[in-house]
């Protein structure tokens, strides 16, 4: 297998804001392409300190690094981002292969992403699906239940979203809302909570027996990291839509969340449907290692031909165990 790029050996092509960068069909000029790539790699502040003439000279990652050194910028962040982009692309290629196999074999794959607010669930899912065929891969991010849904069996609205044969379904939060968020925020009664906790292992066992492949991720972040991400959302007009009344109380209710999270693990972690804990303070590392876990767990065609290691880092991703020290 090919090793991931090292800091001394940057990948050869520029990272891009979209898959078309570097393709002959891209209608943008080279300076515009380079400008987007530099902003993705180093941020807007660095990009704005480079001239159009500087940007027009960039045709490769080595060219980018040379320019940064000449201008007196540190290349540490650039190397880290370039290596991340290279790893991400290779893992996404494997995800495309996985999806093709799922389609051909008529398998049903459901991947759940749970975690505290601002834990990076949505961002990780976006990287998973970026190059997948949207006809057979979709994201489920349900709004709060309607009045009609409130009178239904709790799992009913989630059951409708489960994958059909040949499909992959990503849940950006799932039925586990009732295990943590709802009791913390008093959105459900104690009786409803207890009924859910009794039923969820049975529900997931039925999925298992029927052949649904289910992976459950818990994205784990520290209290201080969550606070920093909330602050970043408040000042970023492109992310302010993410702030909700639940988010505003997340720090205040941290210990209560912890209590219900631990009860959830204790009562819903099973051999047929285990919890996978992802240390997500480092968003990019969490994305890569989550992908590796999925790819290493599931069978698919050409898996042995992967151009990158599919073994997840056990310091980032590991199966839940009571003795495991968690950051949240």
Helices (H), the chain: 30-42, 44-47, 52-56, 61-70, 76-105, 121-129, 147-150, 156-159, 181-185, 190-209, 223-235, 245-248, 254-268, 283-297
SS3 state at 229: helix
Residues 6+ apart with CB under 8 A from 182: 188, 192, 193
Taking alpha carbons only, the member of 2, 9, 14 closest to residue 64 is 14
* 170, pLDDT greater than 80: yes
Q: What is the pLDDT of residues 207-234, one digit of tens each?
A: 999 999 999 999 999 999 999 999 988 8
Sheet holding 167-172, edge to edge: 137-140, 167-172, 108-115, 212-220, 275-279, 317-319
Q: What is d(CA 22, CA 182) in angstroms, rounded to the nearest whole number?
A: 46
pLDDT category of residue 296 using cuts at 50, 70 and 90: very high
For the record, the structure tokens of 21 come out as: 């960068």
- Worst-scoring range by mean pLDDT, 117-126, 216-225, 244-253, 284-293? 244-253
Helix then strand count (H, E) for the chain reads: 14, 6
Report the predicted TM-score, pTM, of the whole model to 2 decimal places.
Answer: 0.83
Q: For residue range 36-65, what is the model confidence (pLDDT) as tens digits?
A: 566 666 666 676 777 877 777 777 777 777
107 near 207, Cβ under 8 Å? Answer: no
Between CA 220 and CA 261 the distance in angstroms is 11
pLDDT in tens, 20-38: 333 334 454 444 545 556 6
Angle ∠(222,227,232) on CA atoms, nearest 5 = 125
Q: Which domains does the chain have, with CATH numbers?
A: 1-74 (no CATH), 99-319 (3.40.50.300)
Q: What is the rounded distance in angstroms from the CA atom of residue 129 to the CA atom of residue 149?
A: 28
Number of C-beta neighbours around residue 48 at 10 A = 10
87-102: pLDDT as tens digits: 999 999 999 999 999 9
């Amino acid at each position: 297998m090919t090793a991931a790029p090292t800091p001394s050996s940057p990948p050869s092509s520029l990272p891009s804001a979209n898959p078309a960068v570097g393709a002959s069909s891209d209608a943008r000029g080279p300076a515009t392409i380079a400008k987007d790539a530099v902003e993705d790699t180093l941020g807007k502040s660095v990009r704005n300190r480079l001239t159009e003439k500087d940007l027009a000279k960039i045709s490769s990652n080595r060219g980018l690094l040379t320019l940064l050194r000449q201008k007196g910028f540190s290349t540490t962040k650039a190397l880290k981002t370039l290596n991340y982009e290279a790893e991400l692309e290779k893992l996404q290629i494997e995800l495309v292969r996985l999806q093709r196999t799922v389609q051909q074999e008529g398998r049903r794959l459901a991947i759940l992403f749970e975690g505290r607010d601002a834990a990076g669930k949505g961002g990780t899912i976006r990287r998973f699906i970026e190059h997948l065929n949207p006809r057979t891969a979709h994201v489920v991010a349900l709004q709060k239940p309607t009045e009609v849904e409130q009178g239904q069996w709790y799992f009913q609205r989630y059951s409708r979203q489960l994958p059909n044969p040949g499909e992959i379904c990503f849940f950006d939060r799932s039925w586990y809302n009732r295990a943590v968020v709802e009791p913390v925020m008093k959105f459900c009664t104690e009786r409803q909570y207890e009924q859910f906790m009794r039923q969820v292992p049975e529900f997931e066992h039925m999925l298992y027996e029927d052949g649904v492949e289910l992976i459950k991720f818990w994205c784990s972040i520290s209290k201080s990291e969550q606070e920093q991400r909330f602050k970043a959302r408040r000042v970023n007009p492109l992310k302010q839509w993410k702030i909700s009344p639940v988010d505003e109380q997340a720090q205040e209710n941290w210990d209560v969340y912890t209590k219900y999270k631990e009860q959830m693990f204790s009562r819903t972690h099973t051999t047929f449907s285990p919890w996978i804990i992802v240390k997500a303070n480092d968003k990019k590392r969490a994305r890569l290692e989550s992908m590796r876990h999925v790819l290493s767990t599931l069978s698919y065609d050409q898996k042995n031909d992967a151009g990158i290691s599919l073994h997840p880092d056990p310091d980032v991703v590991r199966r839940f165990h009571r003795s495991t020290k968690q950051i949240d």
